[in-house]
Structure 1
Amino acid sequence: MAYIAWAVALLFAMNIGASGAAASMGIAYGSGAVSKRVALFLCAAGILLGAVSGGGEVVKTLGSDIVPEHMISVPVAIIILAAATLSLFISNMAAVPLSTSEVTVGAIVGVGIAYKVLFVKSILTIVFYWIAVPIIAFLLAFCVGRLVTAAKKFAVKKSWKRILPFFVIATGLTEAVSAGMNNVANAVGPIVAAGLMSVREGIWIGGLFVACGALLLGSRVLETNGKKITEIRLLEGSAVSGLGGTLVIIASHLGLPVPQTQITTCSILGIGMSKKGLRIFEKKITVRLLKIWLISPCFSLVISYNLVKIFIDFDFYSIILVGSVFIATIGLASFRMPVTRAVLSKKSTKVKLKKQYNAER
């Protein structure tokens, strides 16, 4: 059983490195400041440095501040990690960016609900910072965006070109270090709580595997993020990396698992608002952001709760209840689809009739 827990944790760690963490050096690579090989190496080095220098506090939070540490046995640790991994896998297939911190916390809360033991004060504190830190990132990014716009008007172009490569490398490293501090704990926190390793061992081994995931499997993510960067957005993108990375580092020293995905998104919105004003808040973007915030922890919570009830603490009535909610949700969605198609078909028919009428006239 212990080997299964190790395997799931280290697989999760490598996926964290390959997906989110590898993107930290995307701006530096896309701008030509460093080659792909150097970018991946710097990313891996930053992740390991972050994990070793400041990842321990978040490991302790995930292992003992949400549910009692003695409650996390090896089977429970496997369930937490499996729920988080499955949530990320499904989200990747659906192209929905979920936060590793949120799905891990959600999975731990699901276990706590199944056993009816939770440290509610700690959960409320974490949720408060999930909301507060992205808002702070937005406000700071807005201010930075205004400063960058003003600086561009007065700065000499040649001076920007000399400084910018060092700036993008530094901000990329900052983001990589922050990923190591905050995200490594998601993979090793549950198995540290289960007593399979110490905190020190966890951050070293977890850091190495997240770094290896970035180094060996992060090439495609780096390519995608790097080639999407344009010269016009380069300075703003670097500011987003630097701001987000700094906020996550501060949160990590406080032992807070925070959603780096949402922090980055809010930073981008803040930069956008500094240039375009309130037009940046399109309804679709805002709704999508809110959905991600809600779905991330709830999805893994439901999965971990059901896994506990099926494999460890079987409860027939709970399974029926959750299954009924799932069937009702699918049913409502299936009812909505034909109605939506009918409405679209009706609109299409009206347009065709109108065109036909105008043509005849």
Structure 2
Amino acid sequence: MFAVFLTSGLFLGWSLGANDAANVFGTAVGTRMISFRRAAILCGIFVILGAVISGAGAAETLGDLGAVNAIAGAFVVALAAAITVYWLTVLGYPVSTTQAIVGAIIGWDLFSGALIDYAALVEIVASWVASPILAAIFSVILYKIIAGIVMRSGIHMFKLDALTRYGLIIAGIAGAYSLGANNIANVVGVFIPVSPFQDLNVFGLFKLTAAQQLFFIGAVAIAVGTFTYGKRVMLTVGEGIADLLPVAALVAVLANALVLFLFASQDLEGLLIRHGIPSIPLVPVSSSQAIVGSVLGIGLLKGGRAIRWRMVGGIVGAWAVTPIAAVIISFFSLFIVQNVFQQRTFTPVEYTLTAEAMQRIEQQGVSTAGFAELSGRSFPNAFSLDRELSAHMKKTGRERNVIMAATEVVNLRVTASQIQKIKGRWFTDGQIKAVEVLRGRTFTHNWLFDDALAALSPEWRLKDGQSAKEYNAELNRKLDYLHRLFR
């Protein structure tokens, strides 16, 4: 059944390949420096590598926006995004798959009564503004540097063409890798919470996590989309916005790859944190917006006369339509699937202000005085609880998140059969022993389970300080897996 529902994610992956591949090789194909066939093959190979090796970072932020908790819901969300992207791809516009999947997830949040994580949404929307601006800035800087080197070196035209062609291939490979790393979350990220896959040891040589197996399948769909339908949008990016010389095409691809890398690299984030430098949020940015920003940056550097502003206006209009269309398609598709086809598109999550939850909220530094009269009451979803809280108190985003996390009812039951599934995985012996001690116990809230593990073993305790961010992120991934396993 999971394979059937996953088809919508594969359709979305195909649509992304048909559209977003233009963003890494479009300028190279448009300037006739690389054939479409070679571009499609290279793009496919390195999109798969980028997705499997480095795709986890951006996927986590997308999951924060809305954790789709039913497989039929994940199917509809991916399908709504895919239909939106496919429609605009047919029109020839380099649209944002990121905007489509974000819009579709918001549609699910609205339909299911889940709260929208506005902090995560602000991060993602900010990237939609920042990515084309950063790409334009990078393209201007890179163009001046590369053009200056070419002018001073006196390279012969034929040699320059050969070097540019190799440069376009290398930059395209880097861009394809970054595209896979950054955008695979758009394709299969909504399926991670409901995935049945287990970690897989490949001949004892390396391990593929459950998420990486999903990423591989999604990346193959991207590669197929690139090869079968990517040429039209490649030519729009390479020829439709502005006429580019080969060196300018190289610069545009480099700037695009750099922007995608900045927003997807967990290694870069860890490096910045270790040196006390504010890190760049790991969010799935729009490669379409980045490449268009790169091309516009070069065009503006040259005076802007060669820019086809009507085409740019059409592209920006498509960007504006994408998330709105995805929200509408997602919401009404969920209604049809749930009420006509009788498929559960979300699992209801109850919220109860138990005595334990009220105490937990106080321990987290949030006063319960304003809503003490709600103690003991239950609510059918997060939206209902939030509305009632708003009638009693004004709260910050952090306070709301603390209250929701403390009151969510999950009823985890630790069973022997489920414990067997974590053995031989990436859990340590000490962590497994702590879980085995809890066998047979039931926990009303996730945090009660987490606290019980932390009391049994220091290997289940979060660490303080910015330097521990990577460690804590890995520990939270393990806890999230256990929450799903024992629910």
Q: Same fold (TM over 0.5)?
A: yes
- The answer to whether residue 119 in structure 2 is matched with residue 92 in structure 1 is no
Contact 2:10 2:187 in 1 (8 A): yes
Rg (Cα) greater in structure: 2
Residue type matched to 1:209 in 2? A
**Structure-to-structure mapping, 1:1-361, within 5 angstroms:** 1-21=1-21, 24-29=24-29, 35-62=35-62, 64-67=63-66, 69=67, 71-116=68-113, 117-158=115-156, 159-197=159-197, 198-218=210-230, 233-253=245-265, 254-276=281-303, 284=310, 287-312=313-338
Contact 1:47 1:177 in 2 (8 A): yes
Query: Structure 1 residues 225, 98: CA separation in 2 closer, same or farther (over 3 Å shift)?
Result: closer
Contact 1:31 1:229 in 2 (8 A): no
How far the C-alpha of 1:221 sits from its partner, in A, is: 5.6
Contact 1:16 1:210 in 2 (8 A): yes
List per-residue Cα deviations over 1:11-66 (Å, max 9, x = no partner): 2212322332266334445666555543332121111111112112222332x200
Matched residue of 1:98: which SS? coil
In structure 2, stretches of 5+ residues that fail to align are 198-209, 266-280, 341-487
Deviates most, 114-123 or 284-293: 284-293
Query: Structure 1 residues 162, 97: CA separation in 2 closer, same or farther (over 3 Å shift)?
Result: closer
Rounded Cα–Cα distance in structure 1 between residues aligned with 2:44 and 2:302: 34
Structure 2 length normalisation: TM-score?
A: 0.57
Query: Structure 1 residues 87, 37: CA separation in 2 closer, same or farther (over 3 Å shift)?
Result: closer
List per-residue Cα deviations over 1:90-149 (Å, max 9, x = no partner): 223444432111101110011112233211111111111211121111122223333445
Query: Structure 1 residues 203, 276: CA separation in 2 closer, same or farther (over 3 Å shift)?
Result: same
Q: Which has the higher contact order (CA 8 A, sep 6+)?
A: 1
How far the C-alpha of 1:291 sits from its partner, in A, is: 2.5
Contact 1:146 1:275 in 2 (8 A): no
Contact 1:47 1:179 in 2 (8 A): yes
Contact 1:21 1:176 in 2 (8 A): yes
Structure 1 length normalisation: TM-score?
A: 0.75
Matched residue of 1:46: which SS? helix
Contact 2:21 2:234 in 1 (8 A): no
Contact 1:47 1:207 in 2 (8 A): yes
| Runs of 4+ with deviation above 6 angstroms | 223-231, 280-283
How far the C-alpha of 1:4 sits from its partner, in A, is: 2.9
Query: Structure 1 residues 230, 78: CA separation in 2 closer, same or farther (over 3 Å shift)?
Result: closer
Residue type matched to 1:236 in 2? A
Contact 2:22 2:237 in 1 (8 A): no
How far the C-alpha of 1:241 sits from its partner, in A, is: 0.6
Matched residue of 1:118: which SS? coil
Contact 2:52 2:213 in 1 (8 A): no
Contact 1:55 1:182 in 2 (8 A): yes
How far the C-alpha of 1:9 sits from its partner, in A, is: 1.4
Rounded Cα–Cα distance in structure 1 between residues aligned with 2:120 and 2:236: 37
Rounded Cα–Cα distance in structure 1 between residues aligned with 2:221 and 2:227: 10
Deviates most, 15-24 or 126-135: 15-24
How far the C-alpha of 1:170 sits from its partner, in A, is: 0.9
Give aligned pairs, total.
Answer: 310
Query: Structure 1 residues 224, 135: CA separation in 2 closer, same or farther (over 3 Å shift)?
Result: closer
Matched residue of 1:252: which SS? coil
Contact 2:33 2:246 in 1 (8 A): no
Matched residue of 1:200: which SS? helix
Query: Structure 1 residues 247, 306: CA separation in 2 closer, same or farther (over 3 Å shift)?
Result: same
Q: Percent identity?
A: 25
